[in-house]
Structure 1
Amino acid sequence: MNPGDDPMNHTDDERFDQAMRALHTQAVSQVSSATRARLRVARHAAATPAGERAPRRGFGWVLASGFAAVFALAIGLQLRPTITPDAAPAAVATAPNAYDADTAVAMLDESPDLYLWLASNDDAMPTLEP
């Protein structure tokens, strides 16, 4: 029996593969970089279907963040405290109608602690020496 006749003997196949790899390496080294760039662009254009653009990836993030904001707003509105009809008139009744300057001055006159505190902080105020 001849060694080339044995289907389990792959030495001929291995030598053929090595020879073809060497030829391929030699051919690639002789191609200019400009030609390789044109081939790369042509291969990419052939892989992309005609008329189809590359997918835009940014729109998905905008859409997802918009939905998250809407859901957060909905949850926030559901968790906000509700005012019962009994508490609403009490809150309105205690609100002052207008600013009263006499009342504000009277409050300062009733609290001498403010003036004592101001007097104790002489070091915070610069003194003017003539």
Structure 2
Amino acid sequence: MNMHDNDNHDRDQAFDQAMRRLHAQAVEQVSPATRARLRAARHVGAEAARAPRRGFGWVLASGCAAVFALAIAMQLQPRPASTPATASFATTSTPDTGTLYEVGTAVAALDENPDLYLWLASNDDAMPATMEQ
């Protein structure tokens, strides 16, 4: 320990002793009735801290556990095999002609040909009367 540390230690001890004397003087000036009330309040507070708390603690804990279990279960589930969009369309035969066509090709043909949409836009009679206002 050098000289500087020793001076700080002596000052800290002197300060600590002075504060203890001031505290002792303050305690002597408090009336016995006030000290008794403070002691009773301290005991009530200590017992309230020891009392078991009832309420939403268990509900909150079990809810969090359920959410985590669900998240883990969702992560562990196997992912479905991805299929191309055209594979979901079936090849269908028409009952009257017996010809085969693929539904995906028919839908793609409508997307490529804008004539249908131009016809719909120019045909004002196709709109219901309730829409006209």
Query: What TM-score, normalized to structure 2?
Result: 0.33
> Greater helix percent: which structure?
2
Report the TM-score, using the length of structure 1 for normalisation: 0.34
Q: Which has the higher contact order (CA 8 A, sep 6+)?
A: 2
| Larger strand share, 1 or 2 | 2
